[in-house]
Amino acid sequence: MSRPAPARRADYAAFFAIPTRWEDNDAYGHLNNAAYHSFIDTAVTLWQLDRGIAIEGEGALRSLVVENGCTYHAEARFPDLLHAGLRCGHLGRSSARFEVGLFRNDGESACAEGFVVHVAADADNRPVPIPPDYRAALETILRGG
């Protein structure tokens, strides 16, 4: 089975530095799989906060994770500093697919690439259209946009 080559930094629109911690390593001496998913979630949240998107409290955006995944290209470990590149791979009526490339230290190729799909939802967890201000923010990082 052939896999595509790892993405490069230039393939992503926004970046956030995320330090690894000793506790992120597993018994094999590299980052635990669950840590990568946490870093992906952190990158999306940092981008939302950076764009002034309210993620908690009254009037906050309510979005549900409906799918996620990660492809691993090379090991990372503590004390690496990860640089999370972020882009929107797909923008639908109520959903957005965030794609995150994780780059070790000064590396140009992603050591891991993950994604998470968010669906905008009402209080009853039913899909609703993405609010216009959030859609506009997503369009700034839309892949190929």
Kindly give the residue spans of alpha helices, DSSP state H, lying in 65-141: 132-139
d(CA 60, CA 120): 11
For residue 26, report the phi and psi dihedrals to the nearest 5 degrees. -105, -170
With vertex at residue 40, the alpha carbon angle to CA 65 and CA 104, rounded to the nearest 5 degrees, is 165
Per-residue confidence (pLDDT) for residue 145, from 0 to 100: 58
Per-residue confidence (pLDDT) for residue 9, from 0 to 100: 97
Q: Pairing relation of β-strands 95-104 and 81-91?
A: antiparallel
pLDDT per residue, tens digit, the chain (145 aa), is 677 899 999 999 999 999 999 999 999 999 999 999 999 999 999 999 999 998 888 888 899 999 999 999 999 999 999 999 999 999 999 999 999 999 999 999 999 999 999 999 998 999 999 999 999 999 999 997 5
Beta partners for residue 82, in sequence order: 18, 104
Dihedral sign (CA 36, 11, 116, 121)? positive
Q: Quick check: 87 and 13 in contact, CB under 8 A?
A: yes
d(CA 97, CA 3): 20
Per-residue confidence (pLDDT) for residue 79, from 0 to 100: 97
Closest to 46 measured CA to CA, from 141, 110, 136: 141
136 φ/ψ sector (left φ>0, alpha ψ -120 to 50, else beta): alpha
